[in-house]
Amino acid sequence: MSLEEKESYYQWALKKGISRRNFLKFCTAMGAMLGLEASALPKIVNAMETKPRIPVIYLNLQECTCCSESFIRSGHPLVADLILNMISLDYMEVLQAAAGDQAEAAKQKTMKDFFGKYLLVVEGSVATGDGGVYCTIGGKTTQSVLEEAAEGALAVVAYGSCAVNACVQGSAPNPTNAVPVKEIITNKPVINVPGCPPIAEVITGTIVYYLTFGTLPELTNQGRPKAFYQHRIHDNCNRRAFFDAGQFVESFDDEGAKQGWCLYKMGCKGPTTYNACAITQWNDGLSYPIKSGHPCLGCSEDHFFDKGPFYTHLADVPNHVIGKNPDQIGLIGLGVAGAAAGAHALATAAGKAGKTSTHNSPKDKSGN
Amino acid sequence: MTQKEQVYVWQIPIRLFHWVNAFCITILFITGMYIGHPAFTVSGEAAGHFLMGTCHYVHVVTALIFTANMLFRLYWFWAGNDYAKLRFWRKSFWQDTFKTLKYYLFLSKKSTPHVGHNSLASLLYLCFIWLAGSMMIITGMAMKSGSDPNGTWFALFGWIIPVLGGEYNVRIWHHLLAWGYPLFLIGHLYMLFRQDILDKDGTVSSIITGYKFVETNSCASPDLDLSSETISAGALGALGAVSSQNNSL
């Protein structure tokens, strides 16, 4: 079956019993989520009605499956259904019924039939240490699995912090030498969708955008879809008013915590984390970590696991090697400089006194 | 007895730069430390307070003044007198750096008279004020501009975020480099008071009056020595002009 023979998203939706009204609602929600203006809506609808469903291969490499868990728990029922079904998921170890040789055969078939036309979604990092023995699938190393699947992909979505920056297993000292997808795949566009886990709607949004405009969505300077990752959590935080007022939680059981004050001093990384948590939120807009009283860990930022300790505002520099934070380093520097200046002053005074005693006459002192 | 000549070293724009810079750094350090460690927590309704917001506002406004002042000084490297220049690409600059370093390490007893900055001092300005200062401006502007990711500021400074590996690292660098200023201040104050006491050349008051006092008989030759090309003609010209004016001293 070629790609052209595949049904469109709208045909598929009708077959599933989704009404036109709900279909249009989905298109509108997607347009809003992508930050497109209202005039883009007819284009989205047209694309969803006419374009065939993009086949998707979803690889699970060196990871904990939290991204998949997020992926299948998208809050909005329609979105959840569409995420699972609209993208024509041809291979995903977590969800597929087939296993072993059958599953591998299905993947090979998709890769052959839709060469250059399928989207590759990768969850997990690539273990490259010791020839890649730390993570193998069907007897193959993660690197060879990824390279094989990426060859015929139109683009690669690095889904989750593992695929974007090797996440926890890539933190110091990185024993399996885990590397992110972008270090292995250099000849294809790689869209980074970081987060531990990331927000599921980003995948749907990216696919809808590609279908509508035929190009990949605009990315930030860190290679992430701009519609979701351009803003800092801090700048849209529902506790921001407490930050600006200067009201901070000092411990998790104090009065400030009960009042819902700012979690900045509890180590919140919201001021430096670019993600849509504060805007789209999780579980159908129910909440997100800061809203529910826990500081942001900055899980969508590179190597967030090394930027600890999590519950202090200022991390150690550089990542557990020195084991001191900038203020400690600064104060030590000041102490050393002060002591050095004092010692130098004493040495100068001693030198001068010595000089005075050896050449005691004022005539000598004046030099000329 | 040694005769001292009054030499006009620091022009008005230099002195202005110095004090605006000192003022800005003080404000920036204090407000910055509060932003990094909000020590006071206010009580009551959030709507009634704007402590962090005010600190942040003052920090950013002062940072813009600081940046403008730095840019002005950059211009004055070109427009100012010979003492306003920093010619670190010249061989004589590095020769003088080592000579001065040896003097400060008590390895040589002979102090080379300098009318303006000695090269070691200039080198420290280059590191602490210019290199670290530029990094402070870039990292600070990047953090400031993140709230408007499609704006001009972000286009100008946002590139530092991926370069340093995320905005958290940008923040850490900003905080770490901030400590360079008090560190510098200790050295700066110690060295200038030491200089003033040992050579009695008016170094401390010169940043207010603009004048230093140089020994007439001894200054000409060593200065010539060191400045075969640099501190040179302009300086000596100024020296000559001033000394003829101030013969009464």
Specify if A254 maps to a domain. no
Question: Tokens 């020769």 sit at which residue?
Answer: B95
Smallest Cβ distance to B176: which of A221, A269, A326? A326
A57 and A180 fall within a common domain? yes
A217 and A353 fall within a common domain? no
Answer with the one of A227, A249, A271 that is the final residue of a domain.
A227
Q: Please name the residues in contact with A173: beta carbons below 8 A apart, sequence gap of 6 or more.
A: none
Is residue B4 very low, low, confident or very high in pLDDT (cuts 50, 70, 90)?
Answer: confident
Interchain CB distance below 8 Å, B167 and A274:
yes
Specify if A285 maps to a domain. no
CATH code of the domain containing A99: 3.40.50.700
The stretch B132-159 carries a mean pLDDT of 93
Annotated binding site of A for [4Fe-4S] cluster: 64, 67, 162, 196, 234, 237, 262, 268
Answer with the one of A179, A204, A227 that is the final residue of a domain.
A227
Give residue-wise pLDDT tens across range A305-352. Answer: 888 788 887 766 655 556 678 888 888 888 988 898 888 888 888 877
The stretch B136-140 carries a mean pLDDT of 95
Comparing alpha-carbon positions, the chain A residue that sits nearest to B40 is A246
Total domains, chain A: 2
Smallest Cβ distance to B158: which of A221, A243, A298? A221
pLDDT for res A80: 57
Give residue-wise pLDDT tens across range A18-76. Answer: 888 988 888 888 888 788 888 888 988 888 888 887 888 889 999 998 888 887 776 56
Contact B113, B214 (CB under 8 A): yes
Specify if A330 maps to a domain. yes
Is residue A11 very low, low, confident or very high in pLDDT (cuts 50, 70, 90)?
Answer: confident
CA distance A69 to chain B (A): 26
pTM score, two decimals?
A: 0.83
Annotated binding site of A: 64, 67, 162, 196, 234, 237, 262, 268, 277, 296, 299
Question: Token digits for A284?
Answer: 């159908």
A positions 257-316 inside 8 Å of B (CB): 264-265, 269, 271-274, 298, 301-304, 307, 313-315
pLDDT for res B247: 39
A339 and A212 fall within a common domain? no
- Write the DSSP symbol of residue A157: E
Smallest Cβ distance to B38: which of A248, A317, A352? A248
pLDDT for res A367: 34
Specify if A314 maps to a domain. no
Count the Cβ atoms, other than its own, within 10 Å of residue A112: 9
Nearest Cα to Cα of residue A179 among A192, A166, A169, A188: A166
Residue of A165, A196, A222, A261 to mutate, testing the B interface (most B Cβ within 10 Å of its Cβ):
A222
Comparing alpha-carbon positions, the chain A residue that sits nearest to B56 is A244
Interchain CB distance below 8 Å, B166 and A272:
yes
Q: For residue A281, what are the CA distances in angstroms to A164, A185, A194, B28, B88?
A: 21, 31, 15, 35, 54
A341 and A199 fall within a common domain? no
A positions 318-337 inside 8 Å of B (CB): 326-327, 329-331, 333-334, 337
A223 and A335 fall within a common domain? no
Which residues form the domain of A89?
3-227
Nearest 10 degrees: Cα torsion A359, A362, A364, A367: 130
Question: Token digits for B24?
Answer: 């800005």
Specify if A234 maps to a domain. no
Residue-wise over A339-355: b if at least 16 C-beta within 10 A, else e? eebeebeeebeeeeeee
Q: Please name the residues in contact with A266: beta carbons below 8 A apart, sequence gap of 6 or more.
A: A249, A251, A252, A295, A311, A313
Q: How much of chain B is in helix, strand and coil states, percent to nearest 5?
A: 70, 5, 25
Q: Cα separation of B30 and A302, whole Å? A: 30
Q: Cα separation of A257 and B98, whole Å? A: 57
Q: Cα separation of A272 and A298, whole Å? A: 7
Spell out the domains of chain B, with CATH numbers in brackets.
Answer: 4-245 (1.20.950.20)
A35 and A159 fall within a common domain? yes
CA distance A207 to chain B (A): 23
Answer with the one of A227, A244, A268 that is the final residue of a domain.
A227
Nearest Cα to Cα of residue B182 among A344, A322, A336, A343: A336
Interchain CB distance below 8 Å, A366 and B40:
no
Specify if A275 maps to a domain. no
Specify if A111 maps to a domain. yes
Smallest Cβ distance to B161: which of A222, A245, A303? A222
Give residue-wise pLDDT tens across range A179-207. Answer: 999 999 999 889 999 999 888 777 777 77
Specify if A262 maps to a domain. no
Interchain CB distance below 8 Å, A247 and B149:
no
Nearest Cα to Cα of residue B118 among B4, B227, B244: B227
Is residue B163 very low, low, confident or very high in pLDDT (cuts 50, 70, 90)?
Answer: very high
Cis peptide leading into A77, omega within 30 of 0?
no
